[in-house]
Structures are given as C-alpha cells and as structure tokens.
A and B are shown apart, each in its own frame.
Chain A
Amino acid sequence: MSLIKRNIEYPIFVLIFLVFTLLNRFGVLNDYVMQVVQLACIYIIMTESLNILNGMTGLSSLGQAGFMSVGAYVSAMITTTFINVNAMNPVMQVVMFIVVTLIGAIVACVVGVLIGMPAMRLRGDYLAIVTLGFCEVIRTIWRVVPARIAGAAFGLTGIPKLANFFWCYLFMLLAIYACRNFMDSSYGRACLAIRDNEIAADTMGINCFKHKTIAFATSAFIAGIAGSLYAHLLVYIHPDVFSYAKSSDFLVYLYAGGVGSISGAMLGALALTVLPEILRFLGNWRLVIYGMLLLIIILFRPTGMFGGREFAFLKLKTGGIKTFHFSTFTHWVKGLFRRKEKEAATAK
C-alpha cells in the first residue's frame, strides 16, 4: 500500500490503459483512433531513444530511423519467413513476439555500436551527416536483400499482427523508465558531463569513447524495440518508410518537446503525432498548418514546449531544469488570475 502511496503514478498508468481499452471495447474510440494512440506510443519510444543521443550525450544523430528499420526488418523477417507464428497457440505467440523483439533490438544495438565507433571520430554536424549516411545505406541494403527474405523494393508484407495497444503501452513505459534510470545512473551522469563539456569530462577521468558507445548502444536498442513494434503493428514495412524524413520527424518531436528532458521528449512526440490527426478536418491544408504550428513552436519556444522541465513522477535526481509538479501548474494558473486582477485594478 505504501508503495502505491509513494508512487501515485502506477495506478494512474493502469487506469489510463484500462480507460483506453474499455473505450475501444465499447466503441467510443474506433480502431483508427486506437491506431493513432499506438503509433504515438511507438514514436514516444523512438523520441526517448533519440533523446539519449541528442539530449543526454550531445551527439547529434540524424539516422535514428536506420536503427528502427534494423529492429523492424530483423524481427519481421523472423516471424514472416522463418517461423510460422499463425500455427502457434496464443501463449507461444506472445513468447515468440517478445523473443523476436529482443532479437531485433539486440541486432539494432550491434549495428548501433558498429556505426557509432567509427563515427565517434567526428563531431557535431559531421556526426549528424555520417549517421544520416548510415541510415540511407541501411535503407539501400533492405532494398537489395532478396525478395524471398525481406521483400526487397516491394516491402515486406504478411507480417503477423502480434503487437497491440497493451504491448505498445507497456514497452513505452518500460522505455521511459529505462531512460529515467539511465539518466540517473553513473553512465547517464557521465553522458551529461560529456554533453556539457567533453574536454572537461575527459580530464575528470570519464572515458568519453566508452560512454559515447554505451549511449549509441542503448539508443539503438530502444529504437530496435520500437521498430519491432512498428512492424508487428502495421503488418507491412517498406524501405522508404525508414527514410531520412522519418529520422527528421523524430528530431523535430524531440526539439519541439524540449531536448534533454525525458518528459519533453514524451510530450513532444505525443503532441506532434496527435496534432496532424486533429487537423484532419482541414483536408489538404492540414500539413501546411502543421508545419506552421511547428515553426511557431520552434521560433517562440526555442527550448521546446516543456523547456527542459521534468515531470515530478519520474523522480529524477539529475538533469532537468526544474521539476514540473502539479502545484507548479496551479501556481501558474493562480498567478495568471492575479495578474488579470492587477491589470483590472490598474485599468480602474
């Protein structure tokens, strides 16, 4: 009981899950809305993984979709080509899904390390360019893998639908807490030190190369999980889905939400995945308005919507400018009213 009292967010997580599931069951939220919610969960995982590189370690990566594609293709190739999942009983299907997701994530992790180690020679914009290059090279590899195994240029079809809202939601929470723990661990603190000043961190005895490699590996692992979820949710993947445009989407989510903050990444991904769907009534103009809103966010809140704050429920010890308690919000609202009253008084 005291666990729940100390961690009031745990029952809330369960409650959110139950609300969405029940609303879907009783037909209030149709499958289309649920699809958007599930995709939002996956994009939150991706943005968190990008936050480890861009936000915590200060390595700008433009190739996150490449890691995602590795996770997606490896896991989907196993379930589609090598084993027959549909003939298994439901329990085995679940076990199989978790196993292939982990395999996909581990392969993505290995690829991440292989890419990260040589790329570490470069800094700043050049690292971003090289990761972008690797992302496009990986995409080209999926294009030329024989059609029998990975569908080549037609894309991989007939992937069994193993992921559902439960898995997306669960993995999202796991990813968020994994990032939280990473940030609070000695590795995460070392990464933050490298971000703030690499030379100073080096002189303080932090092994920069090792910690950058760890950051790449963790980030690629989480991206691989997101890729596997993506493949088993949409049951169809194509090399062009994981293009540079996808990577830049995640980058935009991260920076619009607030770089370096786990809550910011979460909020940015959620808001910018849902926003185009809300704007759907605008028809052709919806992405124009989306682009405009994006520009407005970036121009008027250059530190992101959340400005480096963290939700209090994450209980972070490091990082984050200011913890965002619920009371912060109420204070802000009260202040707003007070200002209104003051203005009214001066007007009189």
Chain B
Amino acid sequence: MANFLQLLVYGFQLGSIYALLAIGYSMVFGIIKMINMAHCDFLMMGCYIVYFLVTVVFGGAELIGPAVALLIILLGSSAIGMVGVGIERVAYRPLRKRPTIMCMISAIGVSIFTQNLFRALPFIGPTPRYFPVLIEDFTVNVGPVGISFTRIITIILAIIIMLILWYVIENTKIGMQMRAVSNDKDAASLMGVNINRVISATFFIGAFLAAVSGTFYATAYPVVQPTMAVALGNKAFIAAVVGGIGDIRGAVLGGFVIGITEILITSVWSAIAYGFCFLVLIIILLFKPEGLLGKPMTEKV
C-alpha cells in the first residue's frame, strides 16, 4: 500500500507534465483541427533555453532559489511561446485553406528541421547535457510515503497554471474568442473575431505550457538532448486524445490518467509501459471515440 501511494505521487508528477503538454495539443486541435506533430519540440527548446539562461547568466551556479528560478522559467517559456507563434506564421498559416493533413505533414517537416538544427548547432550538439538543479531539494515524510519538495512544487505549480489558464479561457475576452473560434470559425469571423490573432494566442499559450512542462520534466529527469521530447510528445498526445481532444479539462484528466498508468505499469513490467499507453488509447477510442470528456461528433450530410 505504501509502495502504491509512493508510485501514485510519481504518477501525479509525470501526469502534471503530460497534462501541461497535452493542453497545447488539445487547444491547437480545438482551434484549427490540426495535430501539431512539432508541439513536443517546444518542450525540448524550453529545456535548452532555461539551461542556457542558467548556465550563461548565472555562470553555471546551481540552487538559484525558487523566485529567480520561477522568473527564469517564465522568461524562457515566453520566448518559446513567441517561437511557437513564429512557427505557426511561417509553416502552418499558408496551408490553412488546405486539408488539415497538409498542416500535419508541414509539422513533421518543422519537427525534422528543429531537432536536426539543435543537433547541428555547435554550442548545442547531439550530446546529452546535465540540467542544473534549480532549487534545493529535501524529502518530506508523510507517513510511509516520502515526498520530495520539487515533486510537490511541480504538481502545485502545474495545477496553479492550469487554474490560471482555466480563468483566462472562461473569463477573459481572448478566452471567449478562443471558445467561439473552436465552436465555429466562420461564424466567429463574421462576429468580428480576429481569427489570426486567436490562433497566434493559442500557439503562444501552447508553446509556453510545453516549455514550462519541459523545465518540470528536466528537473525530475535532468538530461537534456535534442531528441528527448519525441516519446514524451507522443504520450502527451495520447493523453489529449484519451481525455477528449479539443477540451482542456479532458487534456488535464487524460494527462493524469496516462501518467499514473505509465508509472504503475512501469513498476510491474517496464518493457511494455510505452505500448500499454497506446493500448489504453485504442480501447478508449474504440468504445468512446470522442474521448473521456469529449462531446460526441455528428456528421453533417
């Protein structure tokens, strides 16, 4: 039982990382109905930018303290958010009138380009790097379960970010526009919503959250390399689909479901953990094609 609870804590941490990443997939799909295969690269870029900010600005000093660490993470992630807006502008916007699968192919191209660019740049290179420890870690014992401080901070921060996002989507003007566009793009456009601005904002938020989740991932598993994000991205994508793609609550729920499932299966038989996530996905999709929280789709004749 203690073992199970311990695993559950790990699962929640991994789940919060997946959830942050899955929100990006889900929002982009909700707005422009496209599977953004390059989304996981924002995570990798986020890791690198925080890594370089810490090593260059602080000269490799570790334990820079929670407030400074948070500032750096927000700064780096905002930069990645702008990169996301730029990528949408260059690679996806020209294809918006085409079938959505063309956007997906373009995203695969972007993914090949970014990963190899990071591998080819001389100051990054293909060698894995050790991610610096940002805040001092200690373990709190709650009964038989040992909870490390960074773990709990990761989970709490992820939940706070999700709540802020929820507030933005529900109560601000841009959030209302996003919901309108995802409901009906043409009607929203007729009502005076600037579609391009909404899509840019979506990509900014998606890339920002991916970069934040990248930093969280790197604090837990401190190795950074250009191809680190592919498997993670796939699993976050599963999470988004399991929860019901296009729905933010679904992405969060799916993220936690996939994270916890993966940790539990890994503790039993690690070789099948990755495939098992996909099995969960297939079973859920076959019996509830719209995902756990998604609305059933109707086909118009």
- How far is A122 from B230 in the complex, measured between Cα atoms in Å? 25
User: Are A133's CB and B278's CB within 8 A?
Assistant: yes
User: Are A292's CB and B113's CB within 8 A?
Assistant: yes
Q: A248-B37, A288-B117 are in contact. Are A298 and B281 (CB under 8 A)?
A: no
User: Are B100's CB and A298's CB within 8 A?
Assistant: no
Interface residues of A in 128-142 (CB under 8 A from B): 128-130, 132-134, 136-137, 139-141
User: Are A291's CB and B109's CB within 8 A?
Assistant: yes
User: Are A143's CB and B275's CB within 8 A?
Assistant: yes
- Chain B residues closer than 8 Å to A294, beta-carbon distance: 109, 112-113
Is A79 interfacial (CB-CB < 8 Å)? no
Shortest distance from the beta carbon of B182 to any chain A beta carbon, whole Å: 15
User: Are B274's CB and A136's CB within 8 A?
Assistant: yes
- Chain A residues closer than 8 Å to B282, beta-carbon distance: 130, 133-134, 137
> Who on chain A is nearest to B108 by CB?
A248
Q: A295-B113, A298-B102, A299-B106 are in contact. Are A140 and B275 (CB under 8 A)?
A: yes
- Chain B residues closer than 8 Å to A130, beta-carbon distance: 281-282, 285-286
Is B119 interfacial (CB-CB < 8 Å)? yes
- How far is A117 from B241 in the complex, measured between Cα atoms in Å? 20
User: Are A252's CB and B286's CB within 8 A?
Assistant: no
Contact of B109 among A54, A140, A252 (CB under 8 A): A252
Shortest distance from the beta carbon of A259 to any chain B beta carbon, whole Å: 8
Is A182 interfacial (CB-CB < 8 Å)? no
- Chain A residues closer than 8 Å to B289, beta-carbon distance: 121-122, 126
Interface 1/0 per residue, A37-72 and B, CB below 8 Å: 000000000000000001000001000000000000
> Who on chain A is nearest to B98 by CB?
A302
User: Are A291's CB and B105's CB within 8 A?
Assistant: no
- How far is A256 from B108 in the complex, measured between Cα atoms in Å? 12
User: Are B301's CB and A137's CB within 8 A?
Assistant: no
Is A305 interfacial (CB-CB < 8 Å)? no
Interface residues of B in 239-280 (CB under 8 A from A): 241, 271-272, 274-276, 278-279
- Chain B residues closer than 8 Å to A143, beta-carbon distance: 271-272, 275
Is B91 interfacial (CB-CB < 8 Å)? yes
- Chain A residues closer than 8 Å to B237, beta-carbon distance: 129
Interface 1/0 per residue, B111-131 and A, CB below 8 Å: 011101101100000000000
- Chain A residues closer than 8 Å to B279, beta-carbon distance: 133, 137
- How far is A282 from B118 in the complex, measured between Cα atoms in Å? 15
Is A255 interfacial (CB-CB < 8 Å)? yes
- Chain A residues closer than 8 Å to B105, beta-carbon distance: 251-252, 255-256, 298
Contact of B95 among A121, A129, A248, A299 (CB under 8 A): A299
Is A285 interfacial (CB-CB < 8 Å)? yes
- How far is A141 from B274 in the complex, measured between Cα atoms in Å? 11
- Chain B residues closer than 8 Å to A302, beta-carbon distance: 95, 98, 102
- How far is A294 from B113 in the complex, measured between Cα atoms in Å? 9
Is B236 interfacial (CB-CB < 8 Å)? no
Interface 1/0 per residue, A226-263 and B, CB below 8 Å: 00000000000000000011001001100110000000
User: Are A140's CB and B274's CB within 8 A?
Assistant: yes
Interface residues of B in 61-96 (CB under 8 A from A): 91, 94-95
- Chain B residues closer than 8 Å to A129, beta-carbon distance: 35, 237, 241, 281, 285
User: Are B120's CB and A122's CB within 8 A?
Assistant: no
User: Are A255's CB and B101's CB within 8 A?
Assistant: yes
Shortest distance from the beta carbon of A328 to any chain B beta carbon, whole Å: 25
Contact of A288 among B98, B116, B230, B274 (CB under 8 A): B116
Contact of A291 among B101, B116, B299 (CB under 8 A): B116
Is B219 interfacial (CB-CB < 8 Å)? no
Q: Which of A123, A132, A285 has the most CB of B within 10 A?
A: A132
Q: A288-B116, A294-B112, A295-B110 are in contact. Are A139 and B275 (CB under 8 A)?
A: yes
Shortest distance from the beta carbon of A285 to any chain B beta carbon, whole Å: 5
Is A284 interfacial (CB-CB < 8 Å)? yes
Is B234 interfacial (CB-CB < 8 Å)? yes
Q: Which of A128, A133, A140, A256 has the most CB of B within 10 A?
A: A133
Is B45 interfacial (CB-CB < 8 Å)? no
Q: A125-B100, A302-B98 are in contact. Are A295 and B106 (CB under 8 A)?
A: yes
- Chain A residues closer than 8 Å to B113, beta-carbon distance: 288, 291-292, 294-295
Is A118 interfacial (CB-CB < 8 Å)? yes
Shortest distance from the beta carbon of B122 to any chain A beta carbon, whole Å: 9
Contact of B286 among A121, A199, A288, A291 (CB under 8 A): A121
- Chain B residues closer than 8 Å to A121, beta-carbon distance: 286, 289
Is A287 interfacial (CB-CB < 8 Å)? yes
- What are 7 A-B interface contacts by the 8 Å CB criterion? A130-B282, A130-B286, A140-B275, A248-B108, A287-B112, A288-B117, A302-B102
Which 3 A-B residue pairs are closest in the complex by CB-CB distance? A140-B275, A291-B113, A287-B116
Given contacts A128-B101, A295-B110, 16 further A-B contacts (CB under 8 A): A130-B282, A130-B285, A133-B279, A133-B285, A136-B234, A136-B275, A141-B275, A255-B102, A285-B120, A288-B116, A291-B110, A292-B113, A298-B95, A298-B105, A299-B94, A302-B102
